[in-house]
């Protein structure tokens, strides 16, 4: 599903998703906010993006959170789960998230797709 279908066409990610083509939408309406997965080599991560308005958030989480994840599927048919993964980034500002994403994705081996 698409985050827009699950959370409304006006949900504000705080950035242009087209600028991050490696983020794959895995949003589901049973979750509290949209989520996107990506991988760096064989490691998988989930980016959770909460509402910009504090009153709409479920709890006191920062707006952006990246969590380690596992792929219970395969490369062709991924099934990404993060329920037991460590949180490796939390932040309120997109500039901090952008820096984190640039740093972690720069670790990608250019010979691995």
Residue 24 lies in a domain: yes
Residue 110 lies in a domain: no
Element (H, E) at 98: helix 94-105
| Other Cβ atoms within 10 Å of 77 Cβ, number | 7
Give tens-digit pLDDT for 85-113.
899 999 999 999 999 999 998 876 554 44
Give tens-digit pLDDT for 2-17.
999 999 999 999 999 9
Contact 61, 25 (CB under 8 A): no
| CA nearest neighbour of 98 among 20, 11, 3, 4 | 20
Q: Look at the chain and report how many structural domains it folds into.
A: 1
Give the C-alpha separation, 56 to 75, whole Å.
Answer: 35
Range of the domain at 93: 3-105
Taking the model in full, what pTM does it have?
Answer: 0.90
């Amino acid at each position: 599903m698409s985050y827009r279908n699950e959370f409304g066409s006006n949900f504000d990610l705080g950035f242009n998703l087209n600028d991050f083509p490696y983020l794959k939408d895995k949003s589901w309406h049973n979750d509290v906010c949209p989520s996107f997965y990506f991988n760096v080599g064989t490691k998988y991560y989930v980016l959770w993006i909460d509402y910009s308005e504090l009153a709409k958030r479920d709890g006191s989480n920062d707006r952006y959170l990246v969590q380690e994840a596992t792929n219970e599927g395969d490369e062709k048919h991924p099934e990404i789960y993060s329920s037991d993964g460590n949180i490796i980034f939390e932040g309120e500002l997109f500039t901090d998230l952008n820096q984190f994403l640039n740093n972690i994705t720069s670790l990608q081996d250019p010979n691995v797709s």
